Copies of this chain bind each other. A is one copy, B any other.
Amino acid sequence: MTPLLHDLRILELGHYVAAPFATRVLADLGADVIKIEPPGDGDPVRTWGARVDGNALWWSVHGRNKRSVTVNMRSIEGRALVLDLVRQCDAVVENYRVGQLEKWGLGPAALAAARPGIVLVRISGYGQTGPDANRAGFGVIGEAKGGLRHLCAYPPGESDLPPVRAGIAIGDSIAGFYGALGTLAAIHAQKRDGATDCRVIDVALGEAVLSLLEGCLPEYGLLGRVREPAGSRLKAAAPSNAYKSKDGAWVLIAGNSDPLFRTLAGLMDQPELASDPRFIDNQARCAHIDELDGIIARWVAVLDAEAVLALMDEGNIPASKIYTVADIAADPQYLAREMVREVDDPLLGRVLHPGVVPVVEGLDRTSQIRWAGPAVGQHNDEVLGGLLGLRPDRLAALKEEGVI
């Protein structure tokens, strides 16, 4: 069986997180992703976070399965090379500032002239249109504008600390998902329609985040209700919270349905809770959530986490310790499904990677991580020579001139 997207070729004119995350997802599914980077240091994300010999460990995952080609986009010759690559591609994914591609002569019309029917996916802070289109936007800003940051906090009055950042580049990733989806959906439509123009897909960070906001907008519009954060609780279903064990771990227990709560009450040796009018159904439990969480917290506080989890398993109640990456790396389920795996990285040695999501049944999982994040320009010869047919002396001249 072949990878799902092995026949697709995507050109990435991206940097930092959002566009490269979109193409990582597509590359993991088998697409041939060619990433254009500036000669020299390449994408600035190559130095983000923990590093070994100057190489960011994140890059090993973020850049995997892609081919890295250096092109100086500020040179006319470089932009001609990019158009030559466009001729060989099904889609372009970019996250430059709004209008930058047009300044380089690489707007939709130019792309369609090079490759009729091409798809252009553009990820930006605020979108390609509207009064804020030209403002700079980062992932953290998109998370704040999209309403997520406000909800990553404790209920009003419970803490003076600022709302937390989700701890990972969640806004960029959500925008990246829409970018990857837009790529596949638009390629599908262009082929179906036999289109010759460029189909432009416009993803804004804040809008991508806003799209996940459940019922917040209708609740505000219809009831005037502003959704406030709920800390570690699930607000609409109870009990679902984090409780501290005797040995100091946070244990999540999701006993938030009538049958699950009945089982939980029995396992806690307090079966009378299930028929207590305060906790008789979800609505009652939500109305008395402080009392209920207090009861469960006192029960968990005198047990070790493993003992609580063993009981939850017995009753088939969804539960888990809050995992650190150390817990993840030791988890039998992840290991059984090759979701934590060692990969050879020429820059770093043997490194741990997350596996490829989703699992495609029947497809060999090991082969899906074809290589770790490549060195800057590692595939120049292969792509510019092999795919575009440039001869070695030409490649040497381009390198000499600083074009690649």
Set of chain B residues within 8 Å of A244, measured between Cβ atoms = 162
Question: Considering the chains assembled together, what is the distance between the CA atoms of A308 and B189 in angstroms?
Answer: 45
Set of chain B residues within 8 Å of A250, measured between Cβ atoms = 162-163
**Given A252-B144, A328-B210, A336-B129, also A166-B181 (CB < 8 A):** no
Binary flags per residue of A304-335, CB closer than 8 Å to B gives 1, else 0: 00000000010011111111111011011110
Do residues B164 and A164 form an inter-chain contact, with CB atoms below 8 A?
yes
Set of chain B residues within 8 Å of A129, measured between Cβ atoms = 336-337
Does A208 touch B at the CB level, under 8 Å? yes
Set of chain B residues within 8 Å of A210, measured between Cβ atoms = 328, 334, 339, 354, 357
Does A261 touch B at the CB level, under 8 Å? no
Does A200 touch B at the CB level, under 8 Å? yes
Give how many copies assemble into the complex: 2
Does A202 touch B at the CB level, under 8 Å? yes
Question: Considering the chains assembled together, what is the distance between the CA atoms of A210 and B59 in angstroms?
Answer: 16
Does A236 touch B at the CB level, under 8 Å? yes
Set of chain B residues within 8 Å of A203, measured between Cβ atoms = 357-359
Does A116 touch B at the CB level, under 8 Å? no
Interface size, chain A (Cβ < 8 Å) = 154
Nearest CB of B to A293, in Å: 11
Does A14 touch B at the CB level, under 8 Å? no
When the two chains form the complex, which single residue of B49, B59, B152, B358 contacts A164, counting CB atoms closer than 8 Å?
B152
Does A177 touch B at the CB level, under 8 Å? yes
- Identify the closest chain B residue to A123 (Cβ): B358
**Given A217-B352, A217-B354, A254-B138, also A151-B166 (CB < 8 A):** yes
Question: Considering the chains assembled together, what is the distance between the CA atoms of A339 and B129 in angstroms?
Answer: 12
Do residues B232 and A60 form an inter-chain contact, with CB atoms below 8 A?
no
Set of chain B residues within 8 Å of A144, measured between Cβ atoms = 252, 320-323
Q: List 17 A-B contacts (CB under 8 A).
A: A4-B188, A49-B215, A60-B215, A62-B215, A127-B337, A129-B336, A144-B320, A174-B177, A181-B358, A202-B358, A202-B360, A206-B333, A208-B357, A211-B355, A213-B325, A216-B328, A218-B352
